[in-house]
Structure 1
Amino acid sequence: MHLIEHMVFKGTSSRTAREIALTFDRLGAEVDAYTTKEYTAYTVKALPEVLLDAFDLLVEMVTRPAFPETELIKEKNVILEEIRAAEDAPDDLVHELAAAAAYGTHPLGRPVLGRRSVVRAADRACLVRLHRRFYRPERTVAVLAGAVSAAAIEKAAARLAAFGEAGAGRAPAGEIQGPDGETGPPAPETGSAASGRANGPAFEVAPTADGADAPAPEEEPKEPPFAGGRRHRTRRELEQGHLVLVYPGLRAGHPDGPSWAVLNRLLGGSMAARLFQRIREDEGLVYDIYSYTAAFRDSGYLAVYAAMHPERAARVEALIAEEIRALIERGPGEEELEAAKRTLIAGYAFDLESTEARLERLAREAIYLGRHPDPETVMARYRAVSTDAVRKLAHRLLRPVGRAWVGPAVAGAERGGASWAARRDARRVRD
């Protein structure tokens, strides 16, 4: 899918890659794209008077890619260089290894950039099959945010639906299906923003010699099991070691999501968090340490990253376990809890003032929730998080399910000590 993202910019049935670039430039528009573990996003930023023209071009790129063979050869080399660059950056590589350690062979454990062998083997026929399978109206979420009028939203929906021939059983051309199944031009949110699932004609790409696969039926998401593995990459030239510990988390949209966000903030989500204060400020054992969460359609995790001298790895890991144990046994203090909640509420409010942040939030809500929660409701849920809720979540989830290390070979640093294996195995017995 990452290769398709690159190739979408390399021309359509009526425009070359150069013509696409020049047209966006003449419009004064900024176009971008990125691929995640579960979706690919294509974005365009333009002034209101040319937004629909920029939107038209973006839709043409996404729905009518030509996938020219000459460009494919060059772009495969570009991605291979991306992979090499990522592997040369230990603080990037360790996170990919951590996901692989946690999820094993499940797709969530695979790198977004792809594997060299897969990239080298990809051909045009493969891209066409994947495009026809996944780039379909019912799998597409269109989002507009910023200085956008209701009339512009209606026109954008109609233009998106106008690409291709109308399919049987789909909404009429010019309509967009909202998150609750209603059709018709979507009403904008406060601040002129709206989203919906396109539900019109099929997107097309030039056929291959042997035809293309029919779209596969949708499957209900199944929570992937955690592998509980360990991955390490010995890099003798490095003086610093990079460690990531992975713990089970919550899927996107889970009812306990606000409590989970507060727990992450308390543990390692800021410079005031417990891990940073104890291990970096008080003990001086690490160059950097933090925690973060990743949420997917049917799974999620929390990860703790630390960068340190390799000989300090065992001590750092023991202190991480100690701070987690304290949260499990006693929970956060009232003042600490309130500060974490205020910070999360402020961050959410600040994001409402950013067009880019609103755009991404609306898209993720449409994909994972099928609705757009009222901002006041979201902030109220943060305010309602209690000490007991955080402590119970920590008790239920903070048991390691994956470990990754990138750095010099040091006894105990690569594979973790007996304490890591004991905590992992204790979780297996408990589950």
Structure 2
Amino acid sequence: MNAKLWIASIGLVLVACGGGDNKPANTGGTKKGDGLTKKEEVSKEAENKFNAAMDAFIAHDKANDWNEAVCNDVAKQFESAASEQKGGSLPEATFNAGLVFQRCGKDGEAKKRFEKALSENPQFHHARAQLALYEYKANGNEDAAITALQQAVLDAKFQNVPALVNLAMMQMQRDSAQGGDGCKDDMECAKKNLQRALAIDDGFMPAFNQLALYYFNQAKKRAGAIKSGKGKRQIATNAAIGKRANVQELELAALVCSQAIRKNPGYAPIHNTAGLIQNELGLVNGAVTEFRAAAQLDARLFEAQMNYAAVNLSFRGFEEAQKAYQKALEMRPNDYDAHLGLALALRGQINDSNYDKQVAAVQAELEAAKKIDGARPDAFYNEGILVQEYKSKGLDKDKTIAAFEQAQTILK
């Protein structure tokens, strides 16, 4: 089994994670906060509790130690601050409680808080932007998401940095000829919104990350080497293997990553993006280093685990690929590509001493993938390879013929 077979079997699945990490809202319209509740309208008790909750939020963000107990505690602190306010309404506190639940993956609880914050103040653009993303996740309607995010940006008078970044992300994803004020199409509008975001906050890492992805995508589009997989996952397809993206734009994307990493070397997604760029430039060792860094900085970053696994798989680093795919599956047990990748990593480690156990493990992962999406051919193709290359070995003549016939049937 050669390297070409591995690429043909799965391709190199490289996942780009972008979008705006969400900052907590402050009251008082300070430089750092852009909340809508005026400071003089906030009771002293509510302000004290709100500030204590903010300190806790920021500390846990820096430590990256969110867990269920911590989330429940910090969310309660924000909700306690809201209860101290006259009428029990402080949308900034309610919104921040939602962000806390987001940090722990409790999207249902987060969405409830965002809806409550928006009902308390229909102009609360932070909540509107978050709800737009939840609606998109539910229905996949890019046009509706962009319209809602544009409204949030307008409500914020173009000062909501995460909303600008998320709007740019959605515009890049739609990538249509629809223009806007001062921009001719989605990609140009996206770039303009990212520049606006960085002009307001030149330390906002998601804006740097999305700008790097903008140049990365533009480089690959010009080469005709980019297609979107299910769920908008970027895949280097077999047809694109020989197509390399525009080097000048890739180097520009790499420069954005370099500047961002100098500002904040601890931001995992920018390392993931840097890995995508290094891989496209053919610098595999650099890609491995960046993907590994991203995975180590944030063990919950699914994209980094998938990319670290895929790039290891591409040069037959089967054990490392196996570990990374297993970590990815802990986060998303029903991800087709993770099951398929794990099957290939396991297949690469089959030997005489583990033959029966390893072949069974490979088959189990392929079966899991087929259950997730029976319409995709990848798992069936690799099942055919498994039968042809392994299950047919050591059988008598009749069984060998039967095994090859089974493989031929699968591969048709």
* Structure with the larger RCO, 1 or 2 (CA within 8 Å, 6+ apart): 1
> Which TM-score applies when normalising by structure 1?
0.26
Q: TM-score, with normalisation over the residues of structure 2?
A: 0.27
